[in-house]
Amino acid sequence: MHDIKFIRDNPKEFDRIMQRRGIGNPSVQLLKIDEKRRKLQKDLQALQAQRNELSKQIGKLKSSGGNADELIAEVASMKRIIPELESEEQGIADQINAILLSMPNLLDNAVPDGTSEDDNVLLRQVGDLPKFEFTPRDHVALGVLTNGLDFETAAEISGARFVILSGQIAKLERALASFMLDIHTLEFGYTEYLPPALVNSNTMTGTGQLPKFEDDLFKTTDGRWLIPTAEVPLTNMVANQILDADRLPIRMTAYTPCFRSEAGSAGRDTRGMIRQHQFSKVELVSVTGPNESSLELDRMTSIAETVLKRLKLAYRVVKLCSGDTGFSSRQTNDIEVWLPGQAEGEGRFREISSCSTCGSFQARRMNSRFRKAGQKETEFVHTLNGSALAIGRCIVAIMENGQQRDGSILLPEALHCYMGTDKIRLTT
């Protein structure tokens, strides 16, 4: 959500930043409508002041025995006109609000220009790519050998883009969740939550999923929504609040199912677990003051990297360009893990985490503020979110990187105590 006052005062700067997102000069239309609203507000105020003054005159005339019929008729006429103008003003206000809700966040100056993922900037690559003496299989083939992934039965039960995990692969999902949550809570000070997976429209609007991405969401018959990520309920836990500054930063984590219709995916990644309608994720959410959000983004990215380092998975970190940065994000670092079984055994990096700072964008939509000690004024908080990590893609990475010639899978040492074994063996 944007501050209309900022747009009034800085229309050229606002348009310049929006042009980086491929949106040309939105301030022109917006300010034209805003000017109409402000004129209407001025007229309303003048009319209300006139009505109040006439009401005083009527009172004086009546008390002195004078005839107030003409003034009474004039006030009665105003009482009919004022609600009509108020309704018109509210309609214009709703129109402005709808436009503001549809516009993406302002980009940070650190975000590089570009039109697609091809223009993202590599920040670092960590870990050695594994070498195989055979052509590595993808996780779908390995899932057959280990009897751990069943796409066919899932399709019969639910349709395309679902999977059933079983045996040691199902246990791996649970192990990874516990492993990640232990890191985040015990080492980095996050508080664990288990939020609802169903939320209302206000909650989705607060974090920016509505109205822009309605087609990519699943909606229930009673008007609620399945969460696309735990970011949605966690961030909204500070909605409509004024926080004490000494409470910041607030750091939250949750392991939840996530649901995405993926209406805009255009048939991409239809094979395997890369892009599913339902998947699980451990999410990180931070609420900070404006001066701390940039450092918090670096910290959050580092924490997500810690998980991959402990699992000894090769990865790279990229800064998303202007054309690839998400709607609610001011700046995003993506972490891409190496998947050797992709591209028919040639391998490729695939996103496993996005860490974003949203600035005050979500806070304005949620009306989430903080107040410094001894001050009357409030400021909007800054919000951040990041995957740490997407568990399905983490399973894919462990399977493909740990695979042996016979199809068995060596597990990262960090998971041995969670799994009770060092290896996922073939079924007989």
Strand-strand pairing, 198-199 and 225-226:
antiparallel
Closest by alpha carbon to 106, among 337, 325, 319?
Answer: 325
Structure tokens at 341: 């079984």
- Any idea of the CA torsion for 145, 149, 155, 160, to the nearest 10 degrees? -110
Can you tell me the distance from the alpha carbon of 310 to that of 302, in angstroms, rounded to the nearest whole number?
Answer: 12
Per annotation, catalytic residue among 21, 330, 364, 393: 393
User: Does residue 296 have an active-site annotation?
Assistant: no
26 Rama sector, left if φ>0, alpha if ψ -120 to 50, beta otherwise: alpha
Closest CA to 109 of 280, 322, 274, 371: 322
Candidates 174, 275, 310, 371; catalytic one: 275
275 classed as catalytic:
yes
Residues in a beta bridge with 338:
349
Catalytic residue among 88, 117, 351, 379: 351
Q: Which pairing describes strands 250-259 and 191-193: parallel, antiparallel, or unpaired?
A: parallel
What is the distance between the alpha carbons of residues 351 and 354, in angstroms, rounded to a whole number?
A: 8
260 in catalytic set: yes
Please identify which of the residues 21, 37, 137, 260 carries the catalytic annotation: 260
Catalytic residue among 286, 354, 356, 387: 354
Cα–Cα dist 234/256, whole Å: 11
> What residues are annotated to the active site?
260, 275, 351, 354, 393
